[in-house]
A and B are shown apart, each in its own frame.
Chain A
Amino acid sequence: MTRYDSILDTIGNTPLVDISQLSPMPGVKIFAKLEGQNPGGSSKDRIALKMVQLAEQAEELRAGDTILEPSSGNTGIGLALVAKLRGYKLRIILPENVSVERRQLLEIFGAEVTLSPGEEGSNGAIRMAETIAAQDSSYRFLFQYGNPANPLAHYEGTGPEILKDCPEIDVFCAGLGTSGTLMGVGRYLKEHKPEVKIVAVEPPAGELVQGLRNLDDGFIPPIFDGDVLDGKTVARPRESIEGTRRLLNECGIFAGVSSGAAVYGATRYIARTMTEGTVVVLLPDGGWKYLSSGAWTDDLDTVVELATRINYW
């Protein structure tokens, strides 16, 4: 179907594209799920819509309410799109060191943006949002890290799409942030094809967050369940940007920096454990929001240095 009543109906059903030219083993195929094709530009459109729908059903959201959410950009942009069409106001707590394009997009969609200290990373944005929500009960705090609608959007949408388009899947690989993608897709795939392996790729956030005072400032998303995973790999800025460049140069896919990280994690898992089979890797967003980072144009060392200070994940 190519005719829709609303832009929100175009969320999901993203394409799966063969990128086996990036596979380190000739017997292993890789397919990329292009979540950047969602209308707000990322996989987060799915969870934004689901969180709002479930809150509406529970009568926790009414027209005119203000939604509050900590986000480094993508969830905020998805929520801004949904909020605009459903009649809600939106306030996003955004770490001040995210790429300029993310802030611009939030603002043109009409979100109120409050900046949190960059050196505290996403932890700082979460803390600030929690404080505001505790002080003012008129805000509707959806809290993607602890909201079951986040993994549910992937359990009901992303997971079934992947299995339908790629029934031969052996491994699913995706970035780890809130863990919603991995939990939702992982549970769906394991229920329907138990032998599928679920592999997470994460940024070295604990090193990049300069304001971390001690380990007790640590954070594990309430929706995270380690039992769903079979492997987890850390992808540093250099490997992430190299992966992003390989996607463009070898596959013609213009994707964001965390997509490059996911590709690095997938190729590493393949090289370590596989000789044949099929891997699906999820690319969360397109490259548009990262043009100012120089990810494709600047000297690699320069971009890597910048990426240790700016939140591109």
Chain B
Amino acid sequence: MLTDLVGVIGCVFAPAVKRGNPVAVDVKIPTVLRAQADGQASVSVDGETVGQVFDSLIAKFPGIKPNLIGDDGGMHKFVNVYVNDDDIRYLEKLETKLEAGDTVTILPAVAGGAI
């Protein structure tokens, strides 16, 4: 009962606090996508999740959209996105939360490895 009450209070207050702090993160753009991002290698945008960062990026550079988002609305299958070096497909995908100073790296999926 007490736990439930704490949960309710948390739900009411936590989002209000988070909304007051827009998060700025660096996004690293791979060479192959730079033509759609004014040639920039790194862009600073706001977003509390990777999905929000994608929205900000697409608002800034509409041409990049088909390279980030696939036909099904999810991530493009040949794109890997990392938050501080960790692949978001194994975190919370587009819902992965970000903190100020985080780095989001976009890389195309190609063959690699000591084959």
Contact surface of A with B, Cβ cutoff 8 Å: 42, 44, 70-75, 121-123, 125-126, 144-145, 175-178, 200, 202-207, 209-210, 212-221, 226, 229-235, 256, 258, 268, 272, 284-285, 313
Contact = CB atoms under 8 A, between A and B. Distances in A.
Interface string B89-113: 1100000000000000101111111
Given A213-B32, A215-B79, A216-B78, A206 B108 contact: yes
For the complex of A and B, 6 pairs with smallest distance between CB atoms: A177-B113, A218-B78, A205-B112, A232-B87, A206-B108, A122-B111
A74 B111 contact: no
B81 to A, nearest CB: 10
Contacts of B76: 215
Given A122-B112, A231-B90, 18 more contacts: A75-B115, A121-B110, A122-B110, A123-B110, A175-B113, A177-B111, A177-B112, A177-B114, A205-B113, A206-B107, A212-B110, A215-B67, A217-B108, A220-B109, A234-B80, A256-B114, A284-B114, A285-B114
Nearest to A44: B114
Contacts, number: 126
Given A207-B107, A232-B89, A233-B86, A176 B67 contact: no
Interface of B: 30-33, 67, 76-80, 82, 85-87, 89-90, 105, 107-115
B72 to A, nearest CB: 15
B85 A268 contact: yes
A233 B112 CA distance: 14
A52 B79 CA distance: 33
Nearest to B91: A231
A122 B32 contact: no
Contacts of B79: 215, 218
A253 B30 CA distance: 34
